[in-house]
C-alpha cells in the first residue's frame, strides 16, 4: 500500500523527496491517518480497537506526531515487542505521557515526589532478580487462600443492594471490592477508600492522561498526596514487621537483600501497586458486566451454565480489556512490522487492537464465550513482565459473575451513555447502571440460592469447561448400528457455522467426552453427527445410542477443526473407512460447491452398515466409489497411490489400520500430501514409571521449571503461571504447540508431520517431553 514504508538501513525512505506531510523520526512522511491519530479523541476513548482498525488493516506500525510515539496495532508485532525487553525496554511504562507543566512540577517537588522503578518499568537484570524474590504470594495455593475473602466482600455488597432494584455497580462495588481485596492481599490496613479512589484517578490521569494546564496542578496535588500517603503507610508497616501480605514480603526481602528489593522500590511500589491491583480489576469487571448484559442471550446462557464463567471472563478481557495500551522504548534502532524505529523511539502497543486482530482471533469483534483461544489475549501483557496478579484479577471477576448470575439472573442493563476517564491505557465505564425486579429474586423463593456458591480453580480457564448446551432435534438410524443425530440451539437461534473437518466433543455424564465429526449439510444452522455403536469401545457410543432421543439436551464443546481442508489444491482424493465417512462427506460437499475435481473412496463392511450411501449416490455419484466388503469389493490402496501427484491432496478418516496403511503407502508422495484425522491417541501419554524428569527454561519469562516424571509439561507450565491454550490434551489438536529453541524433543503427538518433527523447533506441550535433561522454550 502507499503507506507501507520500507526503509534502508540509513533510515531513508522511498517517499522522502515527494512528501509534504510531517516527518517521522525515521525520515519517512507520516500518512494522513497517522497524522490525525489522537488517543485522546473520542473514537479511541470510546473503542480503541475500532479506532485502530485502519491501522491493523493498512499501516500496522505508524508514528503519531501528536503523541510522539510509534503506535503498534497488530497482535504478532505486539507480542514480538513484549518478547524482547532488552531491545524494547519497559522503563517508560509509568512515565507521564503528557509532560508536567512547570506549575505541576513545582507541586510534585513540594511533595518530594520520587516515583521511580517498580517491577513493571524495571530493566533487566534487576527486574527478574526482584520478580523471582516476590513470586511466592502468587502460587495457586497462596491465591486460593484469598478466595473466601473475595467471596465475603462481594456478598456483603450484593446483600446491600439485592432488594433495591436499581444500582450503579461501579459506585456500589466494582471499585471498592477490588480495592479492599488489593489492600488485604498487600497487607495494607484498610484506609479511607474514597480518598484512595481519588488518589488512583489522579495517578492515572497523571501517568496516562492529558490534563489541561489547570487540571495539571490539581492532579499533581493528588499525586503528591498519594506519594506521601504511600510513604506513611509503608513506614507504619515497617514498624510492625509481623504482618501478613505481599507488601510485608517485600519489606522482609528489603531487609534481607536491600540491593535487590531497594528502598526506593518499596516506596514506588507501594503507590503503584495499589493502582495496579485494583483499578485494572475494577475496570475489567465493569467492562465484562457491560458486555455480557448488553447481550441478554449470552447473559442467560451464563446463568444457565455457570461453568462457562471463567471462559466468559477471559473472553471479556480479550474483547474489552481494562488495559488497552502499554509502553516500551527502543534501546537500539529496530525494525517492527517492516518499519524502522530509531533508537530512543517510544512505542505505544495498543493491546486492545492486537486483541481484535483477525490474524489471531477468528471473528475478533464478536464476543464469543465459547472461544477456545481467548487466553492468548494481551490484556495482561506477555513475557517476563506479564501481570503477576492476573490470577487474582481473574478470581475477582469470576466471583462477581458467579454471585450475580446466581442471585440476580434477571439483571438488566439500563439505557445509558457511558463515560470514560480520558487516558491512553486504562479503560472502563465510570458508571454502570443496572436494574432488576426484586420480586423475581430467586432467593425470595429459595433462600438457599443466596449461598449456593460455585468455586473455580485458580488460573486460566480450563478448556474442558467451555461447554454448550444443545437440543436433539432428530435421532434416527442412519445405517445398521449408526445413529444420525441433529442438534439445534435450545433457544432457537442458529448454531455457529463450521468448516468441513470440524468435530464436536460430546460430554458424557461421567465428564469424559467423545469426538464426533460434523457431517452436514453445512449450511443449515443446525449440526449433524452420526455415531457408530461400538460394543467393544469405552462406552461413549453405547451411551449415545441408549440415551439420545429427540428433545433431550446434550452438552458439547466445539465445533473445533483439527482436520482442515486446504482449498487451494487442484485435485483431491477423499478416503473413508466405515464411520470415517462423517468428516469426509462434509469435505465432498464443500469440494463440489467449490467446483473442485475429486474422487471419494468409501469402504465398509456392507452396504447396509455404511452411512449416507443414498445421499452420497445422489450428490456425489460420479466421484463416488463404494467398497462393501461383503460384496467382494476391495479398496486397492497400492494402485490408488502408485503415482504421486504434486497437485493432489489426500484426506482420509477411518480405522487406525487404514490410516497406517495410507501413511506407509504415501511415503513416496510429496511431504504434506496426506491429511488424516486420528480420533484416539494410542496408549498412555504419560507413564510415570517410564518417564524421566527434565528441566525447562522459559526464555521469554526468564524462568526455569522442573517437569516431574509424573506431570506433563503443560501442567508444569500452568503451575508456573504461564498460560498455554490447550484443547484435547492428548496430542491430537495442536492447540498447545510451543516453540522450542534448544534441546532434543521426544514427540508424542499425532499432529506434526515427519518434517516438522525433524525440525526440532516445536512440540505439543500436553504430551511431548524432553529426550535429554533440558529444553529451552520460547515462552
Residue 147 touches ligand HEM, criterion: CB under 6 A: no
Range 703-732, binding ligand FES (CB under 6 A) = 726-729, 731-732
The entry of ligand FES, ligand HEM, none near residue 392 (CB within 5 to 8 angstroms by kind) is ligand HEM
Name which of ligand HEM, ligand FES, none residue 731 binds, using a CB cut-off of 5 to 8 Å depending on partner kind.
ligand FES
Told to check if 401 binds ligand HEM by CB under 6 A, we report no
> What are the residues facing 468 on neighbouring strands?
556
**Which C-beta is closer to ligand FES: that of 427 or that of 503?**
503
- 151 within 8 A of 453, measured Cβ to Cβ: yes
Distance CA(578)–CA(581), nearest Å, equals 6
Longest dimension (CA), the chain: 96
CB of 373 to ligand FES, least distance (A): 11
Residue nearer to ligand HEM on the CB measure, 379 or 561: 379
Contact residue for ligand FES among 503, 749, 762, 775 (CB under 6 A): 749
Task: Closer to ligand FES by CB, 655 or 734: give it.
Answer: 734
Q: Which set of grid coordinates corresponds to residue 503?
A: 468435530
- Give the binding range for ligand HEM (CB under 6 A) out of 2-10, 389-397, 481-489, 608-616: 389-397
Q: Considering the rule CB under 6 A, would residue 733 count as an interface residue with ligand FES?
A: yes
Number of H helices, E strands in the chain: 27, 28
Task: Find which of ligand HEM, ligand FES, none residue 734 binds, CB within 5 to 8 Å per kind.
Answer: ligand FES
Closest CB to ligand FES among 301 and 727? 727
The grid coordinates listed for 532 are 457408530
The percent of the chain in helix, strand and coil, each rounded to the nearest 5, is 40, 20, 40
Per partner kind, with CB cut-offs from 5 to 8 A, the member of ligand FES, ligand HEM, none near residue 677 is none
Least distance in Å: CB of 676 to ligand FES? 15
Where do we find the cell 443492594?
A: 161
Instruction: Specify whether the CB–CB gap between 78 and 354 falls below 8 A.
Output: yes
**∠ CA(336), CA(338), CA(339), 5° rounding?**
70
Binding segment (CB under 6 A) for ligand HEM, from list 385-393, 411-419, 631-639, 659-667: 385-393
CB 243, min distance to ligand HEM, A: 16
Footprint (CB under 6 A) of ligand HEM, residues 739-778: none
Measured between its terminal Cα atoms, the distance across the chain in Å is: 33
Nearest to 684 by CA among 660, 663, 658, 710: 710
Q: Minimum Å distance from CB 775 to ligand HEM?
A: 23
List binders of ligand HEM among 294-353 (CB under 6 A). 321-323, 326
Cell of 664: 506407509
349: left (phi over 0), alpha (psi -120 to 50) or beta: beta
Contact 75, 64 (CB under 8 A): no
Question: Applying CB under 6 A, which of residues 27, 393, 540, 743 lies at the interface with ligand HEM?
Answer: 393
- Residue 60 touches which of ligand HEM, ligand FES, none (CB < 5 to 8 A by kind)? none
62 binds ligand HEM (CB under 6 A): no
Q: What does 89-107 look like in DSSP terms, one character per residue?
A: EGGGTTS-SSPPPHHHHHH
- Compare residues 123 and 746 and give the one whose CB is closer to ligand FES: 746
| Residue 82 is a binding residue for ligand HEM (CB under 6 A) | yes
Give the C-alpha separation, 407 to 385, whole Å.
37
For ligand HEM, the binding residue among 188, 276, 569, 732 (CB under 6 A) is 276
CB of 83 to ligand HEM, least distance (A): 10
Buried b / exposed e over 215-250, threshold 16 CB at 10 Å, is: bbbebbbbbbbbbebbbebbeebeeeeeeebbbbbb
Distance CA 70, CA 41 (A): 17
Closer of 269 and 530 to ligand HEM (Cβ): 269
Per-residue DSSP letters for 122-154? PPTTHHHHHHHHT-GGGSHHHHHTTHHHHHHHH
**Cβ closest to ligand HEM, residue 505 vs residue 702:** 702
The whole-angstrom separation of Cα 107 and Cα 217 is: 7
Q: Of these partners, ligand HEM, ligand FES, none, which one is at the site of residue 726 (CB under 5 to 8 Å by kind)? A: ligand FES
Write down the residue that cell numbers 473412496 correspond to. 601
What cell was used for 584?
Answer: 469426509
How far, rounded to the nearest angstrom, does the alpha carbon of residue 521 sit from its chain's CA centroid?
31
Candidates 245, 442, 655, 734; binder of ligand FES (CB under 6 A) is 734
Among 324, 387, 610, 770, binds ligand HEM (CB under 6 A): 387
Q: By CB under 6 A, name the one of 766, 770, 775, 777 that touches ligand FES.
A: 766
Q: Which does 279 bind (CB under 5 to 8 A by kind): ligand FES, ligand HEM, none?
A: none
Distance of alpha carbon 73 from alpha carbon 349, whole angstroms: 6
The 3-class secondary structure across 231-299, one letter per residue, is HHHHHHHHHCCCCCCHHHHHHHHHHHCCCCCCHHHHHHHHHHHHHHHHHHHHHHHHHHHHHHHCCHHHH
Number of chain residues interacting with ligand FES (CB under 6 A): 14
* Residues 278-297 within binding reach of ligand HEM (CB under 6 A): 280-281, 284
Q: Does residue number 392 form part of the binding site for ligand HEM (CB under 6 A)?
A: yes
For residue 72, list its beta bridge partners.
Answer: 61, 349
- Cβ 484 to ligand HEM, closest distance in Å? 45
Contacts with ligand HEM by CB under 6 A lie at 82, 90, 119-120, 131, 185, 276-277, 280-281, 284, 321-323, 326, 379-383, 385-390, 392-393
Contacts with ligand FES by CB under 6 A lie at 726-729, 731-736, 749, 751, 764, 766
Amino acid at each position: 500500500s502507499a503507506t507501507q514504508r520500507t526503509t534502508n538501513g540509513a533510515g531513508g525512505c522511498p517517499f522522502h523527496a515527494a512528501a509534504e506531510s510531517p516527518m517521522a523520526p525515521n525520515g519517512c512522511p507520516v500518512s494522513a491517518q497517522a497524522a490525525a491519530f489522537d488517543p485522546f479523541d473520542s473514537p479511541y476513548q470510546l473503542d480503541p480497537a475500532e479506532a485502530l482498525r485502519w491501522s491493523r488493516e493498512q499501516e500496522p506500525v505508524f508514528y503519531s506526531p501528536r503523541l510522539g510515539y510509534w503506535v503498534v496495532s497488530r497482535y504478532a508485532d505486539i507480542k514480538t515487542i513484549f518478547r524482547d525487553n532488552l531491545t524494547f525496554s519497559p522503563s517508560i511504562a509509568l512515565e507521564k505521557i503528557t509532560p508536567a507543566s512547570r506549575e505541576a512540577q513545582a507541586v510534585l517537588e513540594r511533595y518530594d515526589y520520587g516515583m521511580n522503578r517498580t517491577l513493571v518499568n524495571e530493566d533487566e537484570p534487576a527486574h527478574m532478580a526482584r520478580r523471582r524474590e516476590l513470586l511466592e504470594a502468587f502460587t495457586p495455593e497462596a491465591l486460593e487462600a484469598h478466595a473466601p475473602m473475595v467471596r465475603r466482600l462481594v456478598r456483603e455488597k450484593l446483600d446491600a443492594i439485592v432488594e433495591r432494584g436499581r444500582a450503579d455497580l461501579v459506585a456500589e462495588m466494582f471499585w471498592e471490592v477490588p480495592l479492599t481485596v488489593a489492600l488485604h492481599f498487600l497487607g495494607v490496613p484498610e484506609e479511607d477508600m474514597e480518598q484512595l479512589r481519588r488518589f488512583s484517578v489522579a495517578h492515572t490521569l497523571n501517568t496516562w492522561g492529558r490534563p489541561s494546564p489547570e487540571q495539571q496542578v490539581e492532579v499533581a496535588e493528588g499525586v503528591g498526596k498519594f506519594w506521601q500517603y504511600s510513604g506513611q503507610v509503608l513506614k507504619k508497616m515497617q514498624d510492625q514487621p509481623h504482618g501478613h501480605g505481599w507488601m510485608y514480603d517485600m519489606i522482609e526481602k528489603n531487609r534481607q537483600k536491600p540491593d535487590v528489593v531497594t528502598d526506593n522500590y518499596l516506596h514506588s511500589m507501594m503507590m503503584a501497586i495499589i493502582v495496579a491491583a485494583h483499578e485494572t480489576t475494577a475496570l475489567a469487571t465493569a467492562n465484562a458486566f457491560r458486555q455480557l448484559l448488553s447481550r441478554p442471550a449470552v447473559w442467560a446462557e451464563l446463568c444457565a451454565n455457570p461453568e462457562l464463567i471463567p471462559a466468559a471472563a477471559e473472553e471479556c478481557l480479550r474483547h474489552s480489556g481494562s488495559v488497552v495500551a502499554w509502553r516500551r522504548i527502543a534501546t537500539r534502532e529496530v525494525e517492527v512490522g517492516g518499519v524502522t524505529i530509531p533508537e530512543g523511539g517510544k512505542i505505544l502497543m495498543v493491546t486492545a487492537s492486537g486483541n481484535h486482530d483477525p490474524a489471531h482471533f477468528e471473528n475478533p469483534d464478536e464476543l464469543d464465550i465459547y472461544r477456545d483461544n481467548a487466553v492468548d489475549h494481551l490484556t495482561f501483557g506477555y513475557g517476563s513482565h506479564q501481570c503477576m496478579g492476573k490470577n487474582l484479577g481473574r478470581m475477582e471477576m469470576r466471583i462477581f459473575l458467579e454471585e450475580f448470575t446466581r442471585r440476580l439472573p434477571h439483571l438488566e442493563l439500563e439505557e445509558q451513555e457511558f463515560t470514560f476517564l480520558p487516558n491512553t491505557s486504562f479503560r472502563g465505564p465510570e458508571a454502570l447502571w443496572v436494574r432488576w425486579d426484586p420480586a423475581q429474586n430467586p432467593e425470595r423463593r429459595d433462600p438457599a440460592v443466596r449461598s449456593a456458591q460455585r468455586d473455580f480453580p485458580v488460573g486460566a480457564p480450563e478448556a474442558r469447561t467451555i461447554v454448550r448446551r444443545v437440543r436433539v432435534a432428530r435421532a434416527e438410524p442412519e445405517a445398521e448400528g449408526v445413529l444420525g443425530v441433529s442438534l439445534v440451539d435450545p433457544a432457537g437461534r442458529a448454531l455457529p457455522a463450521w468448516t468441513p473437518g470440524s468435530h464436536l466433543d460430546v460430554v458424557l455424564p461421567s465428564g469424559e467426552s467423545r469426538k464426533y465429526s460434523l457431517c452436514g449439510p453445512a449450511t443449515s444452522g443446525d449440526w449433524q453427527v452420526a455415531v457408530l455403536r461400538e460394543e467393544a469401545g469405552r462406552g461413549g457410543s453405547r451411551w449415545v445410542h441408549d440415551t439420545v432421543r429427540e428433545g433431550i439436551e446434550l452438552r458439547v464443546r466445539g465445533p473445533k477443526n483439527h482436520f482442515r481442508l486446504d482449498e487451494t489444491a487442484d485435485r483431491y482424493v477423499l478416503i473413508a473407512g466405515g464411520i470415517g465417512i462423517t468428516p469426509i462427506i462434509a469435505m465432498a460437499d464443500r469440494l463440489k460447491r467449490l467446483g473442485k475435481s475429486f474422487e471419494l473412496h468409501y469402504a465398509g463392511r456392507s452396504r447396509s452398515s455404511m452411512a449416507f450411501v443414498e445421499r452420497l449416490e445422489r450428490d456425489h455419484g460420479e466421484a463416488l466409489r463404494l467398497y462393501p466388503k461383503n460384496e467382494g469389493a476391495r479398496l486397492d490402496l497400492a494402485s490408488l497411490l502408485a503415482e504421486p501427484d504434486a497437485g493432489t491432496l489426500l484426506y482420509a478418516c477411518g480405522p487406525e489400520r487404514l490410516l497406517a496403511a495410507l501413511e506407509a503407502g504415501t511415503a513416496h508422495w510429496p511431504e504434506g500430501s496426506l491429511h488424516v484425522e486420528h480420533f484416539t491417541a494410542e496408549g498412555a501419554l504419560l507413564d510415570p514409571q517410564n518417564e524421566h524428569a527434565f528441566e525447562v527454561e522459559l526464555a521469554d519469562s526468564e524462568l526455569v521449571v522442573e517437569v516431574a516424571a509424573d506431570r506433563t509439561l503443560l501442567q508444569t507450565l500452568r503451575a508456573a503461571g504461564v498460560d498455554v491454550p490447550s484443547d484435547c490434551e492428548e496430542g491430537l489438536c495442536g492447540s498447545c504447540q510451543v516453540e522450542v529453541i534448544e534441546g532434543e524433543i521426544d514427540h508424542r503427538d499425532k499432529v506434526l508431520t515427519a518434517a516438522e518433527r525433524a525440525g526440532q523447533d516445536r512440540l505439543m506441550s500436553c504430551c511431548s517431553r524432553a529426550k535429554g535433561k533440558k529444553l529451552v522454550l520460547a515462552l
